[in-house]
Structure formats: structure tokens, C-alpha cells
A and B are shown apart, each in its own frame.
Chain A
Amino acid sequence: MTKSGSCLELNGVTKSFMGVVAVNDVTFQLERGEILGLIGPNGAGKTTLFNVITKLSSPDSGTIRFQGQDITQLRPHQVNRLGIARTFQNIRLLDELSVLDNVMTAYSPRVKTTKIGCILNLPAYRTEEKTLRERAYELLEKGNLADKAGIEAGSLAYADQRRLEIARAMATGPELLLLDEPTAGMSATEAMELTEYLADLHEIGINLLIIGHDMRFIMGLCQRIVVLNYGRIIATGKPEDIQGNEEVIKAYLGGSHHATSGRA
């Protein structure tokens, strides 16, 4: 459709914090229909890169394009409205709200009826709310959370919280979903179920960018992997190529690499 055909395109993105370069001249593309993995040792700058893409922090230099549109100057809520949703490594749910309301909150910037319609409880408003609630329940069902819709999100079990965060992100109607360590704290079975769920999302046309530490999960799910170390891309390629890449093995097992150049 657009010139590049890419879904997401990063060009020379650099971000530093008080002299520490967390993301250094990162350039890569996420093609349409792709599941891209982002791996690297602790402090490699993966989460910082997510924050830059979702504009929670602004890059010092470089450009970010989404569906051909430059989003480098946008604010985070605008980025989301264009179709990028994310989850967080350390889970950010709306703890005191119910599981259902966590998902419903994601609809709130996209409703058509006004406050007046809500105050007067107009039929159009009630119909819209009903539709949204049904859609929210559908998302919760996919995440095996429908029976927990009424309880406080903060009291969910860890794996449930992760799945709720994904369901909530999906409620924003994204084309690109960024997942920051979605399997952290999950059992092997739960990780398997999540893999299937994510594969389903991919089926319906959602592009995925996934940070992961669980190599079996990442290698099994992603078509292509970008490896980050000290803020720089040290390798890009298919899972099997990455597994044999010497640079990558060195980064993970600690070779004679420059250990002083900083960490995020």
C-alpha cells in the first residue's frame, strides 16, 4: 500500500538518559503480517525501545514510521489511536477497577456518544454500551477471563493479569501489538496457551513485536528476530540463524565484549 510496505519502520533511533545511550542508532522494519521478536540481555534497551515506539519517551534522534506515517512527534495516546497498543513488562493494570472495566476503559476514547447522551441515558448510548460490553466479554473469553469479569483486576493471579493486559490492549483495536515479556511468570502450559492465542491474533491480521527472555517461546513463535545488545542491533534474522550467531552467543554468555559502554 505505502511506499515501503512496512508496518513499522525505525530509522536511526537513538535514545540516551543522562549520557547513557540506551538505544543506539537502531534501524529495522516490521513487515506487514510479521511476528518479530526482540531479544537481548538485561539492559540491552528493549523496553526503552518499546517506550520510544509508543512515545512514552521521545527519541533523541531518528524517525519512527507506522503504516508509512511519521509518528516521531506524536503523543502516546495519538500513537495508540493510530493503531499501536502495548503491554508492560511490570504489568500496568487499573488495579482497583474490575476486570471488565479494565477492558471497557480501553473503549472510552473511541465511543461515539457524548457525555450528554450518557447523562440522559439515551437509547443510542445504551445500545453502544451494550455492544461494547459484549465485545469486552468476547475478549475476556479469549483470554479465559470471562468468569472473573467482576473481580478487581489487582487481585488476579499473575498469568491472568498478563492475559488481561493483552485483552485490554486488543480492545483499542490495534494493528500492531507490542508485548513486553508476555510469558514472564507463566508456567510452561500457560506459555503454550499464550503462544496459541498470539498465533490466533496473527491469523486475524495483527502484527506483533514481542520482547522475550523465554527462548523456546520466542523461537517458536517469531518469524524473524532482532537482537539488541548495549542499545545496538547485533543481529537480525530467522530464529535458526540467530541461534547459531556467534555475536549473539557472546552477548548472552558474556565473552570479551565491551562491558563498560553502559546499560539502560
Chain B
Amino acid sequence: MERAGNSLPFPRSFLVILLLLILVVVAAQVFTTRYSQHILNMFGIYVILSLGLDVALGWTGLVHLAPAAFYGMGAYASALWVLRVMPGVWYGYWISLPVVLILNAALGYLLALPALRLRGLYFAIATLGFGELVRSVLVNWVSLTGGPYGLKGIPRPYVGTFAITSTSHFLYLIFALALAVGVVLFRLSRGPSGRAWMGIREDEIAATTLGIDVNRGKAEALAVSAAISGLAGWLFAPYVSYLSPSNFTLDESIIILCMVIIGGRGTIWGPVVGAALLVLAPELLRGLAQYRLLIYGVLLCATMVVRPRGLLGRLRR
């Protein structure tokens, strides 16, 4: 989309992407300790998660409270694929990517079918139930998921014979994909699908009289959101090499939700800022670890009062 006043020979978005790429490379050189790179990597994963949730929550107005369930399904599907379906093959991990995306999109769509008969809070409760369902499957299907003990020894991914092992390798992988997700969502948000989803958020009745199939729009948004959450899981599994159901509880969903709301729902940059805040905050407030959720709560309330559309959201007129 060229805008008036753009005298560059290419779309301005290329410039933004290039700058972000440079930023990632610079960050990888500046932050050299494993610890700081790990924080960066988790930031990258949460960027993907919060962007994914925002498609449902911020764009389409669906109060979706189970992003962690789709995150977990992506992580477990990726790990199980590498451990059980294609063990010992270097490209197994890469093949698991489309598997994870399609599986998650399909489950997102399936969740939408019954859940969309419900509205507002009732829909939120249905997603809560779905999150709990996924968690209890992860805990109880011991033969498949290892139950509460989790999945151990998830192998590091290979590209041919090159192993992606160090935190800095993952840093490039994670941020390349976070950037890709950002670009995809930016374009979707400016296109017909994004407009339809936002139309549904603004006024379902108006949207339906404009010819928009509201149920289908919501289901599509949930599918896209679920696929992106799955992508984060796909990255997370080999990165930490150990998965446990406790990674994917309601607490996790609430944290992702806070990132989106505090950063600014319905914007692309808002969730990124929210993720940065909520990944960094616990590190800076180490001594207060047991008050973490309390601090999130206060932060959330403060945002709602001071900037109801989030830090990057526009102020109410």
C-alpha cells in the first residue's frame, strides 16, 4: 500500500522490516549472556503469543481466554511429532510446522462452531472451559503426553547437520518468525479480512447487514489466532526441550491477555510493548516474585482507568 508522500522506490514497510532486522542483530551482539538472551527469546515468544491473541481479542472482539491452550497444543504437537512420528530425522521438526499450524487452525475453527452460539461473557466462559479441557488432557493422557511429568528430551532442531542449539541461534529463529507474524498480521489488518473482523467487533448487526458472515468471520479469526499461538508453542518446545502441563495453564493465558490489554488491543505494536513490559517486569522485580500476579492485576486496573485502550491505543475522543 503506497501512501501519498512516499517518495521511496519501495513500500515504507520494507524500511521498517529492515530496521527491525538490524535491531535484532544488534541486540544479539549487545546481549551476550545466556541469561539476557533467554529473556529476549521469551520476549519474542510472547510477542507471537500476544499478537496471536490480539487477532481474536483486539480485532474481532472475542473474549478468548485460552491462548495458552493453543500454545500448549502447538508445543506438544511439535514435540510429539519429533519424538514419535519422525524421530531422528533432521527435517522432522520443520515438517511439524505446517502440521502444528493446520492442527491448531482446525481446532480453533472447531472451538468456534459451538462457542459462537454464545456471546460476550458466555463465550469467554466456553473458552475457559476449553483451556481447562486441554490442560486436563495434557495431565491425564499419560501414555501420550507423559502426564504431569511432562515430555523430556525434546531434541534441538537441525538444519541439515547444523544444530540450532545455543540461545543466540534460537534468538534469530524466534525473532525471524515474530517478525514474519507481525508482517502477516499487519497486512491482514489492512486488508478485507481484517476489516471484516473489526467490523464484527464494532457492531455485529451492522456487519451482518453489510453482507459479512459474522459466524464465519469469527471462526476464521479464531483459527488464525490459534495457529499463531501454535507457532509460539512450536518454537518453545525445542527451545526449552522440556514441556509440562504447568506451562500452559490459565495463569499463562491471563499473562498473555494482560500483555494485549496493557499494550493496546487491536494495534500491532501494542501487544509487542505489552510483551516487553510483562517479560521484563518480573526480571526487574525478582525480589517480589510472589507478588507477580498482584502486580499484573494492579497494572491492568491502572491501564483500564488511565488508558482504557492500552498504552498504544488511541485515547477516547
Contact = CB atoms under 8 A, between A and B. Distances in A.
Interface of A: 54, 56, 75-77, 80-81, 85-86, 88, 92-97, 101, 104-111, 113, 115, 118-119, 121, 125-126, 129, 152, 154-155, 168-169, 171-172
A118 B209 contact: no
A108 B206 contact: no
Interface in B173-218: 184, 187-188, 191-193, 195-196, 198-199, 202-203, 205-214
Given A76-B208, A80-B210, A152 B317 contact: yes
B298 interface: no
Counting chain A CB atoms within 10 Å of each CB, which of B184, B211, B214, B266 scores highest?
A: B211
Contact of A101 (B184, B195, B203): B195
Interface string B255-273: 0000000000010000000
Nearest to A165: B206
B18 interface: no
A18 to B, nearest CB: 20
B208 A77 contact: yes
Contact of B213 (A109, A126, A155): A109
Given A80-B209, A109-B212, A109-B213, A97 B192 contact: no
- What 4 pairs between A and B have smallest CB-CB spacing? A94-B202, A118-B191, A92-B206, A108-B192
Given A80-B209, A80-B211, 15 more contacts: A92-B203, A94-B198, A94-B203, A96-B198, A101-B195, A105-B195, A108-B192, A110-B211, A111-B192, A115-B188, A118-B192, A118-B193, A121-B11, A129-B1, A171-B210
Max chain A Cβ within 10 angstroms of own Cβ: one of B187, B199, B209, B317 = B209
Given A94-B203, A96-B202, A118-B191, A105 B196 contact: yes
B210 A125 contact: no
Contacts of B266: 96
A126 B192 CA distance: 11
Given A94-B202, A97-B199, A119-B184, A109 B211 contact: yes
B213 to A, nearest CB: 5
Given A119-B184, A125-B191, A154-B317, A97 B198 contact: yes
Nearest to B193: A115
Contacts of A76: 205, 208-209
A244 to B, nearest CB: 36
Interface string B62-73: 000000000000
Nearest to A83: B211
A46 B209 CA distance: 17
A88 B206 contact: yes
B210 A109 contact: yes
Contacts of B199: 94, 97, 105, 108
A93 B203 contact: yes
A81 B209 CA distance: 9
A152 to B, nearest CB: 6
A153 to B, nearest CB: 9
A164 to B, nearest CB: 11
Given A94-B198, A97-B198, A105-B196, A54 B209 contact: yes
A169 B211 CA distance: 10
Contacts of A95: 202-203
B209 A107 contact: no
Nearest to A115: B193
Contacts of B191: 115, 118, 125, 129
8 contacts: A80-B208, A80-B211, A94-B206, A95-B203, A108-B192, A109-B212, A119-B188, A129-B191
A111 B211 CA distance: 12
Contact of B196 (A81, A92, A108): A108
B286 to A, nearest CB: 39
Nearest to A82: B211
A56 B205 contact: yes
Given A97-B199, A108-B199, A172 B211 contact: yes
Contacts of A92: 203, 205-206
Interface string B89-121: 000000000000000000000000000000000
Nearest to B2: A126
